[in-house]
């Protein structure tokens, strides 16, 4: 639905002057998720760590003109924008979502409980979607912010809503009930999570029960809810469990090798359901779903047929390769005793007989007394025979005596102190990271994955800014700039380069794969990021890290569309690639109309940009072909715009085209290797500075007698007594074997020293006979300011792109500013 901003002002009882009409379709609380700025309303929410009002200038620059802010915010700097002033923007967000919910008279299932909410929601979607057009909470959007954003998705096409609600303290559920307004309730279970927010167990149950204040039906686990049934409720209250006090009586659960049979007695019927899981949590969640389907009138054969197809909801734990042949299990999504137990089981499963280390933070939301909590933690660790514990946090430190049975222990008050004081050696072991988010364990994860090598690549950030400005000066005022940071930013280091570009206000970043985008998000990059080679394995990452995929074929379109349907996501931003002559990836022009029809038919995606790739923009002899590509590109864009009924960003110009073909700037250009100091067009119009300098050092100097050989296969031979220096770089670092036997040289002491013999994996030898005063430990330049990367590319018979991106990640990057 679309709301005039004037109507929204009335709905949320806001003050302020509407300076221009606007139709609002999208609600924003995150500056990284701007898709349609003209029809978006930004709520400046305040949390303990961030204030949304601090991002208003940035959001305004990116096109947003409608804001909900606190009454004390000074909006005078933005005279062209509508500002709605309220006491609390979060309250206003919830009020607007509650009003929106009230416009629909469809069944809505509200789910709460301590555990299993997301799994039950996703399984119900799988079970009920053949019969309903379902709108549901994306992922785990169950908070005071996530719930209203979920409910805002409702529109006229939906026939059923499924929303989950999570709370951590008294007073929260009442607000979520107003937003969800469920007609059917599901109560999964009661556990220990967030106990600290409630006086006792009874208060916690009573608070969660408020979600169903105006529901017609409630189904829950009898063990947790039977006492509540003794109270008077306006809704029909049915429970499941093993006792005959329940309406759904579970008479038996029989687990086999890969499935379990659940026997349920309901309305005088004896029914058997086969669940494709054997763990207790999955059996409970499947039973909850089964009871709801029985209540809705489904017969057992239909339920059994659909339950057999249930798929597990993926765990959030990440398994990565670490330093020194370690394996890293990163499970920092949450930290409570239940999830710790699950993580430890997974650690044991993966590690086999190898040593295991647990790096654990304080557990902040257990509800238990500290000593009881950490006694239980110690028992969990001992039971899994954990070899080493590293505890981080004041609570763990104060109870370290409880862990004396673990062979090796160490305790630190903060993550920072661990990283600064750490003297631990990690080798040939499995390491579990289990930390509450406030402990920022991603820093430990990064450290455990870090590669160290004496050879370094020096990145001059000042030179990079100079190059960026050289290209920005050529752009029309309205033209946006996308910076290419794929392939480790052409070897320069993705996160550091991206931070610089974000500071200097580029509009977009582009990476090759989702992994590169994840690294940028974890480094705090909030710019929109296009992923150029998305595939099925990376779809989860696209959603979790707000990454926007390139859609280049019907196969990838259909795969991503099906994935978005399963996730309950609509209007996800994507970028369409057209093939205009590169013949690598992209839709041919005669396929564009069919693509447009699919995009209109399905609402899972929305086009953020359409682009193509010029094959020869740097070559004057191919200018005619470049013109032909641009013409085809314009035709494809016109077809899509006419079909879709809305406009999008268009871009085809790459680094060379920014200078050589300024008429093809369109809405945005893509700046790649020019940012890093290489002019691919070899023109005189642009004055670039060297950004990357690859350096190493002299490991050893020796005198080699005449006619002696050097290196493998005796390929290098000296005719006279010679001084040979061995340099700490080889083909494993990116110094190509093509540079062997005098083809390449290395710069030192103001001169070029030729390579002698074959380049080795980790070393290369050079002849320094005619270069005086060279000492062991001296610095040498592989490429950089004195020896251009273009020269090395010429020696190797390749291009600068390959040389720069071939520098191994084991080569440490060092960043300098002048």
Q: How far is CA 256 from the centre of its chain?
A: 37
CA 558 – CA 314 distance, rounded (Å): 21
Structural tokens at position 109: 């299932």
* H or E element that contains 172: helix 172-180
Burial 618-632 (b: 16+ CB within 10 A, else e): beeebeebbeebbeb
| 712 counts as catalytic | yes
| DSSP per-residue string spanning 75-102 | -TT-TTSEEEEES-HHHHHHHHHHHHHT
Q: In 10 A of CB 594, how many CB atoms?
A: 12
Give the phi and the psi of residue 46 in degrees, each rounded to 5: -120, 130
| DSSP per-residue string spanning 195-243 | GGGSSSHHHHHHHHHGGGTT-SEEEEEHHHHHHHHTS--SSEEEEEESS
Q: Give rounded-to-5 percent helix, strand, coil for the chain.
A: 35, 25, 40
Structural tokens at position 370: 């500290």
Longest dimension (CA), the chain: 103
3-state secondary structure of 587: strand
| 486 counts as catalytic | yes
Q: Which residues make beta-bridge pairs with 459?
A: 692, 815
Tell me the residue ranges of DSSP E strands in 276-429.
Answer: 318-321, 327-330, 356-361, 388-392, 408-412
Q: What secondary structure letter does DSSP report for 51? A: B
3-state secondary structure of 278: coil
Q: How far is CA 263 from the centre of its chain?
A: 41
Structural tokens at position 216: 């017609």
Q: How many CA atoms lie within 13 A of 620 on its CB side?
A: 2
Alpha helices in 230-354 (DSSP H): 280-295, 300-307, 337-351
CA 807 – CA 738 distance, rounded (Å): 15
Taking phi over 0 as left and psi of -120 to 50 as alpha, with beta for the rest, 14 belongs to beta
CA 94 – CA 149 distance, rounded (Å): 9
**Which residue among the candidates 117, 486, 695, 723 is catalytic per the annotation?**
486
**Which residue among the candidates 427, 451, 469, 712 is catalytic per the annotation?**
712
Going from the C-alpha of 590 to that of each of 336, 635, 638, 647, the distances in angstroms are: 55, 10, 13, 20
- Residue recorded with tokens 């268009």: 650
Task: Identify whether the C-beta of residue 578 lies closer than 8 Å to the C-beta of residue 611.
Answer: yes
Cβ-Cβ contacts under 8 Å for 562 (sequence gap 6 or more)? none
Cβ-Cβ contacts under 8 Å for 744 (sequence gap 6 or more)? 736, 738, 754, 755, 792, 795, 796
CA 289 – CA 311 distance, rounded (Å): 13
Task: Identify whether the C-beta of residue 240 lies closer than 8 Å to the C-beta of residue 291.
Answer: yes
Q: What secondary structure letter does DSSP report for 504? A: T
Burial 168-184 (b: 16+ CB within 10 A, else e): eeeebbebbbbbbbbbb
Q: In 10 A of CB 73, how many CB atoms?
A: 16
CA 363 – CA 132 distance, rounded (Å): 41
Taking phi over 0 as left and psi of -120 to 50 as alpha, with beta for the rest, 119 belongs to alpha
User: Active-site residue numbers?
Assistant: 486, 712
């Amino acid at each position: 639905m679309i709301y005039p901003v004037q109507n929204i002002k009335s709905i949320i009882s806001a003050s302020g002057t509407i300076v221009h009409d606007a139709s609002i379709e999208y609600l924003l609380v995150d500056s990284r998720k701007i898709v349609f700025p003209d029809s978006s309303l930004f709520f400046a929410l305040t949390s303990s760590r961030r204030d949304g009002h601090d991002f208003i200038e940035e959001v305004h620059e990116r096109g947003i003109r409608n804001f909900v802010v606190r009454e004390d915010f000074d909006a005078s700097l933005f005279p062209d924008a509508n500002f709605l002033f309220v006491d609390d923007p979060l309250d206003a967000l919830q009020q607007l979502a509650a009003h929106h919910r009230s416009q629909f008279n469809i069944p809505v299932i509200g789910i709460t409980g301590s555990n299993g909410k997301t799994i039950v929601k996703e399984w119900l979607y799988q079970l009920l979607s053949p019969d309903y057009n379902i709108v549901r909470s994306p992922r785990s959007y169950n908070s005071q912010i996530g719930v209203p954003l979920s409910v805002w998705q409702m529109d006229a096409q939906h026939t059923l809503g499924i929303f989950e609600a999570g709370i951590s303290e008294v007073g929260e559920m009442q607000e979520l009930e107003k937003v969800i307004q469920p007609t059917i309730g599901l109560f999964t279970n009661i556990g220990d999570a967030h106990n600290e927010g409630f006086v006792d167990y009874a208060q916690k149950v009573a608070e969660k029960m408020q979600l169903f204040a105006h529901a017609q039906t409630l189904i829950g686990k009898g063990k947790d809810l039977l006492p509540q049934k003794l109270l008077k409720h306006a809704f029909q209250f049915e429970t499941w469990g093993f006792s005959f006090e329940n309406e759904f009586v579970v008479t038996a659960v029989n687990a086999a090798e890969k499935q379990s049979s659940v026997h349920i007695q309901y309305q005088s019927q004896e029914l058997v359901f086969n669940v494709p899981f054997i763990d207790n949590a999955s059996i409970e969640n499947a039973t909850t779903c089964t009871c709801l389907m029985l209540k809705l009138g489904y017969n057992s054969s239909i339920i059994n047929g659909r339950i057999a197809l249930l798929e597990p909801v993926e765990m959030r734990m990440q398994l990565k390769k670490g330093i020194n042949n370690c394996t890293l299990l990163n499970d920092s999504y949450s930290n409570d005793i239940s999830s710790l137990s699950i993580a430890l089981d997974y650690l044991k499963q993966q590690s086999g007989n190898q040593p295991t280390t647990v790096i654990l933070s304080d557990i902040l939301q257990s509800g238990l007394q500290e000593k009881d909590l950490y006694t239980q933690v110690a028992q969990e660790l001992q039971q899994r025979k954990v070899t080493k514990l590293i505890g981080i946090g004041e609570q763990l430190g104060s109870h370290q005596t409880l862990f004396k049975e673990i062979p090796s222990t160490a305790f630190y008050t903060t993550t920072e102190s661990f990283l600064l004081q750490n003297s631990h050696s990690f080798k040939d072991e499995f390491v579990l990271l289990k930390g509450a988010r406030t402990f920022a364990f991603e820093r430990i994860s990064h450290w455990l994955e870090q590669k160290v090598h004496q050879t370094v690549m020096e990145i001059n950030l000042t030179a990079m800014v100079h190059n960026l400005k050289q290209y920005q000066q050529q752009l029309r005022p309205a033209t946006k700039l996308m910076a290419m940071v794929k392939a480790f930013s052409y070897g320069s280091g993705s996160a550091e380069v991206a931070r610089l570009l974000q500071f200097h206000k580029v509009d977009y970043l582009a990476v090759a794969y989702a992994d590169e985008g994840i690294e940028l998000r974890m480094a705090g990059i909030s710019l929109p990021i296009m992923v150029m080679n998305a595939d099925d394995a990376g779809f989860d990452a696209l959603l979790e890290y707000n990454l926007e995929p390139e859609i280049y074929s019907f196969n990838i379109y259909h795969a991503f569309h099906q994935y978005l349907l399963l996730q309950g996501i609509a209007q996800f931003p994507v970028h369409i690639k057209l093939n205009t002559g590169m013949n690598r990836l992209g839709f041919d022009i005669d396929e564009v109309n069919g693509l447009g029809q699919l995009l209109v038919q399905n609402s899972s995606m929305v086009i953020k940009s359409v682009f193509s790739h010029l094959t020869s923009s740097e070559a004057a002899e191919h200018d005619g072909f470049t013109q032909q590509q641009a013409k085809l590109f314009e035709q494809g864009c016109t077809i899509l715009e006419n079909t879709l009924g809305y406009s999008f960003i268009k871009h085809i110009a790459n680094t060379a085209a920014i200078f050589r073909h300024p008429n093809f700037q369109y809405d945005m250009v893509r700046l790649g290797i020019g940012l890093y100091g290489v002019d691919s067009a070899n023109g005189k119009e642009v004055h670039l500075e060297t950004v990357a300098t690859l350096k190493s050092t002299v490991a050893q100097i020796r005198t080699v007698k005449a006619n002696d050989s050097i290196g493998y296969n005796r390929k290098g031979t000296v005719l006279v007594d010679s001084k040979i220096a061995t340099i700490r770089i080889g083909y494993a670092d990116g110094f190509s074997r093509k540079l062997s036997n005098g083809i390449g040289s290395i710069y030192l002491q103001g001169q070029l020293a030729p390579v002698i013999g074959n380049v080795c994996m980790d070393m290369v030898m050079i002849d320094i006979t005619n270069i005086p005063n060279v000492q062991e430990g001296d610095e040498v330049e592989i490429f950089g300011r004195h020896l251009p990367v273009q020269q090395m590319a010429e020696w190797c018979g390749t291009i600068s792109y390959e040389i720069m991106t071939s520098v191994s990640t084991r080569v440490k990057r060092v960043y300098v500013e002048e």
